[in-house]
């Protein structure tokens, strides 16, 4: 939230919508979890497929 420009823009946009910092952090955490989950599933499928 401090240094990453796209995240700073997201925080500014969500603040303008009236969200609190706590709510914005929750949204950011959910975004990160979705990205990690997708990557884990892709790795699992790659490992599970016969080589």
Q: What pLDDT, on the 0 to 100 scale, is given for residue 51?
A: 62
Domain of 14 in residue numbering reads as: 5-48
Instruction: Report how many domains make up the chain.
Output: 1
The pTM score is: 0.75
Q: What pLDDT, on the 0 to 100 scale, is given for residue 28?
A: 96
- Please report which helix (H) or strand (E) contains residue 6, including its range: helix 5-16
Q: Do 23 and 11 contact (CB within 8 A), yes or no?
A: no
pLDDT digits (tens, 9 = 90+) for 6-41: 999 999 999 999 999 999 999 999 999 999 999 999
Based on its alpha-carbon atoms, the radius of gyration of the chain, rounded to whole angstroms, reads: 16
Closest by CA to 32, choosing from 3, 7, 2, is: 7
pLDDT at 50 over 80: no
> For residue 43, what are its two tokens?
């790795």
């Amino acid at each position: 939230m401090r240094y990453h420009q796209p995240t700073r823009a997201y925080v500014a946009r969500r603040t303008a919508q009236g969200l609190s910092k706590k709510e914005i952090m929750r949204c950011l955490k959910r975004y990160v979890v979705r990205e990690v989950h997708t990557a884990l599933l892709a790795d699992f499928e790659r490992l599970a497929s016969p080589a």
